[in-house]
Amino acid sequence: MTGATIFGCAGTVLGAQEAAFFREADPFGFIVFARNVETPDQLRRLTADLRASVGRDAPVFVDQEGGRVQRLRSPHWSEWLPPMDEVAQVSAAHGLVGAARAMWLRYRLIADELRSVGIDGNCAPTADVLTPATHPFLKNRCYADTPEAVALLSRAVADGHLAGGVLPVVKHMPGHGRAVNDTHHDLPTVTESAEVLQTTDFAAFRALNDLPLAMTAHIVFSAYDDLPATCSTRMIEVIRRDIGFSGLLMSDDLNMQALSGTLAERAARSVAAGCDIALHCKGDLAEMQAVAGAAGRMSVAAEVRGVAALAQRRMPDPVDIAALRAEHSALLGRTQTAGHV
């Protein structure tokens, strides 16, 4: 059994101590951040070394939404509008169907850039339904304010990734749009009724419940429980039963201060609640050792879900990338994708 974890590393080169730890802990996969990124050649070497440390084709993830949340940036990679801004701009000229096409193109292009440096998982789509209360840290990362539109656009995002050989990770289940706090710093509590949540926030994810991977929200839904969803058996039941998600479920980053207790306690609680994977992004070796010990190995059921998720990795469909980029730019009313070099 592989470790019930996804880990980052500290810098742009994998250290000997990190490699030895990964060999022993055998995490399900890895995640890279801006601190790990310099050039395409350097990043290609790093992702290869991460996989070599565990001796298998482990998935390597990133947060490359485009806009504010983008770990790979110019001059080596394309720059993108915030998702909400792109959807609004294209919708004004081409309607929601045009916006869905633009989002497919956007993430097919992102997938091409990711695959070229050994990254085959991306933490998108963001299927949180925008509300008037959505905190600014999330607002322009959302796609729309109705579950139907969010589901349509998120499906396009997911399909663009898959066509490009990159696994999408839908987030933040069961819904982050009503949170009025930034979960990097505080624990939000959503007080909306179960009936409303089922027909709005949860409905967007229900329409995407066949996707291979998902990430939880560090949010309390008081209609169900007084614990954050990541650490709540009740909320994981909602994700599995009411939303119907049967794929691999990872926690959001355990370092976020919405969660209480030590990192080991956070990892143990999330796995005990029903998360398949504890996600630790900081790249601190001592912290990773504590998380690995607390999270343990993947359960048999989690292993089955992990194998099924990885089975959806495939070679990218052959396409003319230049033609896709030109089509995307045309939908935005431009001659060139924003910031593309």
**What residues are labeled active site?**
184, 252
**Residue 144 and residue 97 in contact, taking contact as beta carbons nearer than 8 Å:** no
Residue 296: DSSP 8-state: -
Cα distance between residue 29 and residue 57, in whole Å = 9
Two structure tokens written together for 275: 């998360």
**Residue 173 and residue 217 in contact, taking contact as beta carbons nearer than 8 Å:** yes
Q: Which of 17, 39, 12, 103 is nearest to 285 (CA)?
A: 17
SS3 string, 84-111, reads HHHHHHHHHHHHHHHHHHHHHHHHHHHH
Question: 285 burial class (0-12, 13-18, 19+ CB within 10 angstroms)?
Answer: middle
Non-local CB neighbours of 319 within 8 Å, separated by 6+ positions = 108, 163
**Residue 253 and residue 277 in contact, taking contact as beta carbons nearer than 8 Å:** no
Q: Is 286 helix (H, G, I), strand (E, B) or coil?
A: helix
Alpha-carbon dihedral angle through residues 157, 161, 167, 173, given to the nearest 10 degrees: -10
